[in-house]
Each structure stands twice: as structure tokens, then as C-alpha cells.
Amino acid sequence: MLASGIYRSPELSMLIDVGTNGEIVIGNEEWLMCCSASAGPAFEGGEVKFGMRATRGAIEKVRVLEGGEVVEMVVIADEKPRGICGSGLIDVIAELRRQGVTDRTAKFSEPGYCSRLRRVDDDGIEFVLAYSDETAIERDIVITQPDINNLVRSKAAVYAGASVLIKSMDLSFDDLERVFIAGGFGNYLDLPAAISIGLLPDIPLHKISFIGNSSLSGAKLAILSGEAFAEVERIAQKMTYIDLSSNNQFMDEYSSALFLPHTNLELFPSVR
């Protein structure tokens, strides 16, 4: 919150920190409300077969073309890929859905839909992002059905938490003037892709800003400045917390968000 500056702005803003715990805050200089959605580690590389943090060798941008036959990618430090980080995973889900490789329930098409889709014993069906001769680990880098399932559960938790939080104030996402997205994604996050999978609300892109690893930025400020550290304590004192674990509405919102992008396409007109 210190790094985002929401607490000192007159604009109604939301901060969504996408990580193992999806921290979400809404408010302005007059009031602040927050919640934490247990999203799991998928977007930080955990519980994904070839997932990794946004470091050298991580695939951070993906484009899938020609019905799934062609994959273009950008790798951090311009090296051969070793795995895929959060921004790349968001791209993959969005691109596979766009090319029809997955359906709205996030299930893979049958092998034969494209040459990169194949059936394996352990994980059912997987999609090959990079073949072994293209990688630094001399193994195929793939996305499996369990990977997709974990990612969808993570994005559903984040979206559901944001939805519950804003509805608790009798507001809608359209009322927001600014949305700040934080997380350890590296230097790249495709906002249209994040909207298309239902991770972020479908609002005009000019309202959304990616601010990087804000928890690290805020920690640096607090360490280097006594005034900033005191400000952190003041922010905490004015914050109202909503416990999602005891909120029945959260489970309803979460179940509805377990689709690409959502069960209610009216909430995602640009995707529809």
C-alpha cells in the first residue's frame, strides 16, 4: 500500500497483489478496506510442472498461432528457456483458449486438434511449449492439464476476492478510477490476457497499471526511511479487513469464476 500510494489519493482505487495470497485493497485517502484470497502459488511458479520465478531463462511472454501449431515466446535474459513464470502462464491460458486448444471450462481439446497436444500417462493431456532441442534443460517444456487447473483456481480466487470486496461497499468495478496490479511477474504482464482469462475485471485498460513487486518496493521504502515506516503503521491503523474464510458470498463468487473467463459473460463484454 505504501508503494502504490492509494492511501493518499482522492481517486477510488483498487490494488490487487497476485501471489500465493492474493492481497486486495480498495479505497482512497479517506477509507481503506482489504481482504486476502488464498490463491496458491501457481502464478509464482509453484504447482506448475515447469513453473519458475521471473528469473533468467523464464518464459515471460507467449503467443500461440495457427490453431496451436506455432508458439512464439520471449525469455528473460534472451536465453534458451528453462521454465515459465507468472506472466507467461497468464499468456498461455489466454492464448490456448483463443486458439481453441482449451474450452471455457479450461479443459484441453483431444490430441489431434494440433500436433503440440499429446496424451501422457501421468498428467492426461499436455501441450508442448518448447521442444527439448529448443530448451536449456534438454527436456520438452509443457503445460499439463493439472497445471491449467491450478492456474484457473488461482485466478478464480483472486477475482472472487476482488468481487466480494467491491460488492461489500455497494460498488462495482465500473466505479473504480484506478486499478494497480502488483506481483513478482518480472518486467512483463499482458493486461488484456489477464482480463481474457478472468483474472482481472473487464474495465478500460487506461485505468489499469502494473506496478511490479510492490511488496518489495514498499519494504525498501520502509527500511530506508523512518517517515515511510511510520506511514506503514498509519496505513494499517486505518484499514478495515474482511475475512473471506467466513464469507459465504466468496464461495459463490469463486465457483462462478472457475471458467474462462467466467460463468457470466456479461461481466466480460470485451472477451464475449
Angstrom distance (rounded) from CA 260 to CA 263: 8
Q: Is residue 185 over pLDDT 90?
A: no
Distance of CA 232 to the CA centre of its chain: 25
Angstrom distance (rounded) from CA 118 to CA 209: 37
Q: Residue 123: its pLDDT value, please?
A: 65
Cβ neighbour number for residue 118 with a 10 Å cutoff: 15
Percent of the chain's residues with pLDDT above 70: 99
Q: For the chain, which domains are there?
A: 6-40+156-267 (3.30.420.40), 42-149 (no CATH)
What average pLDDT does the segment 218-223 reach? Answer: 96
Q: Residue 141: its pLDDT value, please?
A: 98
Q: Residue 103: its pLDDT value, please?
A: 96
**pLDDT tens column, 109-148:** 999 999 999 999 866 899 999 999 999 999 999 999 999 9
pTM: 0.94
What average pLDDT does the segment 188-195 reach? Answer: 92
Angstrom distance (rounded) from CA 269 to CA 194: 14
